[in-house]
Amino acid sequence: MEINLNHVDYMQVGVTSQKTMKLLPAIGRRATQKVAVADHDGVLTCFGMKKGEAVPVFKTLPGQKISRLELGGAQGTPQEKIFVSCGSEVRGFTKKGKQFLSFEANLTETINAMHVSGADLFVCASYIYNHYCDCKDQDYYLSGDKINDIVCLPVETVGRTVPILACQDRVLRVLQGSELLYDVEVPGPPSVLELNNKDGGKEGDEVLYGTADGKLGLVKITESSPVLKWGINNDKRKGGILCIDTFDITGDGVRDILVGRDDGSVEVYGLDSSNEPSLRFEHVLSESVTSIQGGCVGKENYDEVLTTTYTGWVTGLTSEPQQMDAGPGEEVKMSKETQAKVAALRAELEQLQVKVLQGREKYQQSSQSSTAVSAVPVFSVNDKFTLCQDDASYSLTLEVQSAIDNLLLQSDVPIDLLDVDKNSAVVSFSECDSEQPNGNFLLATYRCQANTTRLELKVRSIEGQYGTLQAYITPRLQPKTCQVRQYQIKPLSLHQRTHSISQDRPMNTLSLVGQFSFAEIHSWVVFCLPEVPEKTPAGDNVTFFFQNTFLGTQLEATYCKGEAHFKSDNISTISILKDVLSKEATKRKINLNISYDINEDSVSHTLKMIHPKLEYQLLLAKKVQLIDALKELQVHEGNADFLIPEYRSILDESAHLQEEYKKQPAHLERLYGMITDLFIDKFKFKGQNVKTKVSLLLEILDNYDLNSLMDFFNDA
Amino acid sequence: MLVPIFTLKLNHKINPRMVTMGKFDGIHPCLTAATQAGKVFIHNPHTRGQRQATHRLSQSAQDSDISLLNINQAVSCLTSGTLGPNTTGDTLLVGSQTNLLAYDVHDNTDIFYREVTDGANAIVLGKLGDISSPLAIIGGNCALQGFDFEGNDQFWTVTGDNVRSLVLFDFTGDGKNELLVGSEDFDIRVFKEDELVSEMAENETVTSLCHMHDSRFGYALANGTVGVYDRTARYWRIKSKNHAMSIHAFDLNADGVVELITGWSNGKIDARSDRTGEVIFKDNFSSSVAGVVEGDYRMDGKIQLICTSVEGEVRGYLPASKEMKGNLMDSSVEQDLVRELSQRKQNLLLELRNYEENAKAAPGASEGDSGMGVIPANTQLQTALAVRAATESQKAHIELSISTPNETIIRSVLIFAEGIFEGESHVVHPSPQNLSGCVRVPIIPPKDIPVDLHVKAFVGGKNSTQFHVFEITRQLPRFSMYDYNVQHGGPQPTGRVTFSINDRPQRVVMWLNQNFLLPEGIESPDVAFTCLRGGGLLRVSMQTSGEITLNTDDIDLAGDLVQSLTSFLAIEDLQAEADFPSYFQELRTTLTEVDEFHSVHQKLTAAMADHSNHIRNMLVQAEDARLMGDMRNMKKRFIELYDLNRDLINEYKIRSNNHNALLSCLKSVNQAIQRAGRLRVGKPKNQVISACRDAIKNNNVNALFKIMKAGTASS
């Protein structure tokens, strides 16, 4: 069934965090609902819509940044009490705006996830989970990696308290009291959790999760083990999921799944007869969607999807038709409400303008004084630097409250900057002096078009080359300032955490023995590999599994105080680790005893793993090369019937082939680079320098054949 | 929202910028475009399948609406329109790198087929100035040529570089058309017949030009800029990361004023208001746009805008109906307005907050943990420009130094400027250990153009994460790469140009100060410089009589100086005497080379004809042998044929090398004429150019040099 939703803006508040907007329950059926939204200025706003105008019910005074907003209330009564978390404090407000609770959780860190259920309060800081009942401490848990979200199965249906933590290391941790019940492995770092159907389904144990790399799934948390019901992959490379809600917007009696993502897309998934989700509606907003709710706000009897975006826009996608009722020959009629709204806004603007002018003057005057300082407050930047699994490149997204004027990217490691279609900014590469003293490998400026608040970039790194990427962001805001953000390009930048690795591959091992503490070796691993928690894990030893997103090779890292073992089927990975770790240890003057065990079979194993990819790419390149010539022949002869079937199929698939080719720029070069590294590394461990033979290798690659390549590796 | 009224998939690729609409039978409009393999296709949906395949024309086997024309050469430009006086329909004109074909599609005959040595990069058809018949004007390597319907060469002139775009319209408002030429040296030149009336400097190759209305025209550059000029003043421009493939003027919102329609390399089509550049409509193709034209393609009396993509997709748009109120995009006006106002409010609030927070900061406050960038309020940046001669480690450059007066540091400097950097910006980002309050930026402008440097400097403390951005604009004078310090005893320049002006020396000094980086206190117009780019000397001297002599070996520089000085002093006509012995010597060699290449060309052509005769004979013999069953002989013949074929291919390679060398020589000859012209201004300039042309036509080399020196034909 097709649904048609129209975009309506309601109001704008300050910058918002994830999950900071909720709809209060309606009084009576099909009446309009009130909206509660909280922002980084610490303001909680509750408003309703009356005749197209936002009428505030109450608004609190500014304070500390609000990180979450939840609704609660005694069990069995309407959930209409508003709870917000700011700093390490939780505050409660009635629907009229009266504060009835102020609870200091006594955490050293700020709360970044919260759940309220009856008298139970669950809060999470970075690694810590706390459960309070009637504001009294109940349970406590220290998680192995950062906690992104928390949800609890409904006590009324399940009959016990089951908190579920979404943790950065790709697991959902299901707790029982202060103990871990079990882990649920999910395909990406989970960023948001929500109960299915708002009540967890019939048995109250169904949880929806969304991941930072854009995957969505439903998992059933039974008493003993999890059951994965379904999962949707992120094939279209959309943004990460920030918020989920369930609401029957299609009107078919089944609650649909509403999803908001950090690239601004809003999606509605409907469930078909076999309970499989399918995409029913899609809309793209210009900024990341931080909260999403289904309900009725703008007009009675018209359901809508309500969203808030990063810069604080509260926007509805309503089922109410937005028809322009201008007949032919008439001026476009603006509804009276909008006219009034515009007039009010204009008046407000004028007042502000005067104030700003005064401020500006004062600021200018202060530049005459020799003691005064110019201090401009930090503007908020929403940034994300993530590894995309399917094309093994990093995507950097930056979002600022006001329009971006320009962006300077600087890197002290060689990286490639790729073009992103979506982004309209004019990029310009500046000449770099990669030699000392300045050591810049990339200097690029992005000059943005007016009204660009969000920028998306793609960066391709090379494993083994590590350093820092810096972004200087200058928004169009007076007095002009720029903020620098740093992103680490780690030595094994293309690796990703995974839950397990297959043990039957030929493995190379690197072992370190020395006088280092657990914390030290952990900090080295953090330095080398992405997605490792910065906090030293609890316990005496730890094991992490990784996968190379480009080649599919694996790495296992096991270490404890004084000892560390790294196992990988890729010799280059081991070589990089060896170089970096010995360098780090020398820096701290720690004696390391490094030993390695090289498995000759692993090289041919890795080559075999690369083989299908390489063959596919070579074939693709060859086919794409032929397309133009074949098309010309086709035009010349009038049809393609005389061609051999192979060529005809190329012609038939030409559009698809070209698209595929365009999607993976420089893929072949990257593969060649990795094979060359593999070759050099293999002989490095034997103590031979084979750099002179690289040109021979490249010759072989130009006329690629797996056997001759393997022979070359063996004979050289 | 405006939607296309028709969409076609033609299954033929379309070469970018080679699309036209012609009524070849006088009634039915046909979409005509160049496609692969040296072919031109004509899409005629109205009279299908009536023609026989003869001569150049053949019917496409895939689509009965399409006929294909064999040009047998890579097409480089095409257009259509009325050329001859008594033809029924439009004439199709197809240009390649060597030839121009005028073709009557209706009668399937060639009207003329002319060899054009300078190639045809761009073509335009129409009336020019007082020339009575319409001309097909082609722009090639530095040259412009106009042909009438009989193929007679009616118009010829030279321009600064390879021509990339042409348009004809009444620029001066005198009721006659002028020719606008966009070329690879980034200039838009306006020709009133062969007189150059205006010149507008841009910062990239001018790839497209189109007339909007009255004296207004649109242009597009190779770096993704599109914009609108009114006469010589730029009205607006925008820059995109994509490239503009084709621009066209069309009134899409039916408000009586045409909009600038741009087709982009990423497949986007947008319509922009001619006044503001604001986008009023956009649409997307799946592949790059090839061309934008207009015509009554449905034959219902309404003109449509027709956009084509390189993959052969065609979409037609009708101008918006009244009901749409000029609102062609899929959004409501009021919401946009409210949103814009709210956004402005938000911005003002944020700015206000900045001032409030700033006022709160106590004097003497330091960064603290807030990460706020704190600097003394009286920090002001000092900038200075200086010429630096070459040293062992660094090339000669202009140094822009930026410094802070206190202990703050400059984290990074961004300079946005057009035409002097590889991209549009240059960045200096010192490593953390080299941070200081002073940054020196070496700048080497590749050309003598005046440039505005928009400098953004990030100022803050050593460990700040937020910096103050200082924005400063400095102008780099046109002739900045000339060092006032002259080492004595070097070789003196042999070239010179001498002319007289009726102006005070002080005015010349003023010009010098504005256009060179001079130390203060220069009061005499007699100065000497070292050229930092090529070395060598430049000497400017002025007699009391008002006679100015410029001594330099660089004829281009001399021309630039003359043009700059005369426009500063507002001189309209200027005659000059010049002598550039070394350059003239070079030119003389080039001219002999041209002759040699020509004779080689003729010899090769004769040899080719010989060979083709041989082939014919041999083929007959081989066929005979086959029919007679004499396999041995047949094999022998075919082997010989194979050898001959190889020879032919080799010869072809020689011929094409010869041709390329010839082309580059011809280009430098054309450039020489242009350069000789640039030493003069106004009428004398045009006289020099046409006199040079005549001298070349008559192959009178000595006269050519005489003209270049004296500035007149013969007195």
Mean local confidence (pLDDT), A226-249: 88
Contact B375 A374 (CB under 8 A): yes
Checking if the pLDDT of A328 tops 50, the result is no
For the cut 50, the answer to whether the pLDDT of residue B444 exceeds it is: yes
Q: Residues near B25 by Cβ (< 8 Å), separated by ≥ 6?
A: B47, B88, B89, B105, B106
Identify the pLDDT of residue A407: 92
Phi, psi of A409 (to 5 degrees): -110, 130
Nearest CB to B377; choose among A332, A373, A421: A373
- pLDDT at position A424: 81
Residue of B13, B327, B372 with shortest CB distance to A376: B372
Q: Which residues of A touch B352 (CB under 8 A)?
A: 352, 355-356, 359
| Contact residues on chain B for A481, CB-CB shorter than 8 A | 373, 466-469
CA-based nearest distance B270→chain A, Å = 14
> B353 touching A, CB under 8 A?
yes
Contact B430 A437 (CB under 8 A): yes
**Lowest model confidence (mean pLDDT) among A222-236, A633-647, B390-404:** A633-647
Mean pLDDT for the stretch of residues A480-508: 89
Q: Which residues on chain B are in Cβ contact (under 8 Å) with A440? A: 429, 431
Q: Residue A329 pLDDT more than 50?
A: no
Residues A38-59 have a mean pLDDT of: 87
* Nearest by Cα to B540 from B488, B482, B478: B482
Mean pLDDT of B114-134: 86
> Encoding tokens for residue A61?
């005074």
Q: What is the pLDDT of residues A526-535, one digit of tens each?
A: 999 988 888 8
The pLDDT tens digits of the residues spanning A348-366 come to: 889 888 988 888 888 888 8
% of chain A surpassing 70 pLDDT: 96
Which tens digit of pLDDT belongs to each residue from A678-692? Answer: 888 888 888 888 888
Of A26-30, A394-398, B43-47, B298-302, the range with the highest mean pLDDT is: A394-398
pLDDT, tens only, B587-643: 889 888 888 888 888 888 888 888 888 888 888 888 888 888 888 888 888 898 888
The pLDDT value given to residue A332: 45
CB–CB of B376 and A481 under 8 A?
no
pLDDT beyond 90 at A471:
yes
CA A119 from chain centre, in angstroms, equals: 33
A298 pLDDT higher than 60: yes
The predicted pLDDT at position B366 comes to 55
Tell me the C-alpha distance between A400 and A407, whole Å.
11
Beta bridge partners of B327: none
Res A124: pLDDT: 92
- SS3 state of residue B659: helix
Does the structure show a pLDDT above 90 at A166? Answer: yes
Instruction: Give the model's pLDDT for residue A331.
Output: 41
Name B285's Cβ contacts closer than 8 Å, sequence gap at least 6: B267, B268, B269, B307, B309, B313, B315
CA distance B487 to B499: 27
The DSSP code sequence of A369-434 is -SS-EEEEPPPPEEEEEEEETTTTEEEEEEEESS-EEEEEEEESS--EEEP-TT--PEEEEPP---
Q: Label residue A216 by pLDDT band (50, 70, 90).
A: very high
Number of Cβ atoms within 10 Å of the Cβ of A51: 10
Residue A327: pLDDT band (50, 70, 90) is very low
Interface check A439 vs B, CB under 8 A: yes
pLDDT, tens digit, 9 for 90 and up, residues A591-619? 888 888 888 888 888 888 888 888 888 88
B371 at the A interface (CB within 8 A)? yes
Check pLDDT > 80 for residue B128: yes
Those residues whose C-beta lies under 8 Å from the C-beta of residue B490, and which sit 6 or more positions away, are: B537
CB within 8 Å: A484 and B416: no
**Helix, strand or coil, per DSSP, at residue B11:** coil
pLDDT of residue A260: 93
Residue B546, φ and ψ in degrees, nearest 5: 95, 10
pLDDT in tens, B16-67: 889 998 888 888 888 889 887 788 888 887 765 555 556 666 666 556 678 8
- Minimum Cα–Cα distance from A12: chain B residue: B342
Determine the Cα–Cα distance for residues B103 and B42; give it in Å rounded to an integer: 13
Q: Do B241 and A425 touch (CB under 8 A)?
A: yes
A359–B466 C-beta distance less than 8 A: no
B240 phi and psi angles, rounded to 5 deg? -125, 165
Which chain A residue has the Cα nearest residue B41?
A635
Would you state the pLDDT for residue A325? 43
Residues of chain A contacting residue B323, judged by C-beta atoms under 8 Å apart: 326, 328
Phi-psi region of A30 (alpha: psi -120 to 50; beta: other; left: phi over 0): left
Q: Could you tell me the pLDDT band of residue B1, with boundaries at 50, 70 and 90?
A: low
User: Could you say which residues from 273 to 332 on chain B have a Cβ atom under 8 Å away from some Cβ of chain A?
Assistant: 322-323, 325, 327, 332
What pLDDT is recorded for position A10? Answer: 86
Query: Is residue A390 less than 8 Å (CB to CB) from chain B?
Result: no
Q: Average pLDDT, stretch B536-562?
A: 87
Contact B212, B218 (CB under 8 A): yes
Q: Is the reported ipTM for this assembly greater than 0.90?
A: no
**What is the mean pLDDT of the segment spanning A55-60?**
90
The distance of Cα B130 from the centroid of its chain, to the nearest Å, equals: 26
Q: In which element (H, E) is residue B589 found?
A: helix B581-628
pLDDT (average), residues B664-687: 85
**Residue A123 pLDDT class (50, 70, 90 cuts):** very high
Only one residue has tokens 């009010």, namely A344
Chain B residues with CB under 8 Å of A360 CB are 351, 355
- Select the residue of A408, A426, A427 nearest B427 (Cβ to Cβ): A408
Candidates B67, B352, B429: best to mutate against A (most CBs of A within 10 A) is B429
Contacts of A322 in chain B (CB under 8 A): 332
Question: How many angstroms separate the first and last alpha carbons of chain B?
Answer: 68
Q: Does B683 touch chain A (CB under 8 A)?
A: no
CB contact under 8 A, B373 and A375: yes
What average pLDDT is seen over chain B?
84
> Which has the minimum average pLDDT: A440-444, A551-555, B115-119?
B115-119
CB contact under 8 A, B376 and A638: no
The answer for A 325-344 residues in CB contact with B (under 8 A) is 326, 328-329, 331-332, 334-335, 338, 341-342
Rounded CA-CA distance B584/B561 in Å is 19
Q: What is the chain A residue with the closest CA to B10? A: A635
Identity at B328, one-letter amino acid code: L
- Counting one residue from chain A and one from chain B, the pairs whose CB atoms sit within 8 A come to 250
Nearest CA in chain A to B357: A377
B chain contacts of residue A328, beta-carbon cutoff 8 Å: 322-323
- Please tell me the total number of residues recorded for chain B in this structure: 715
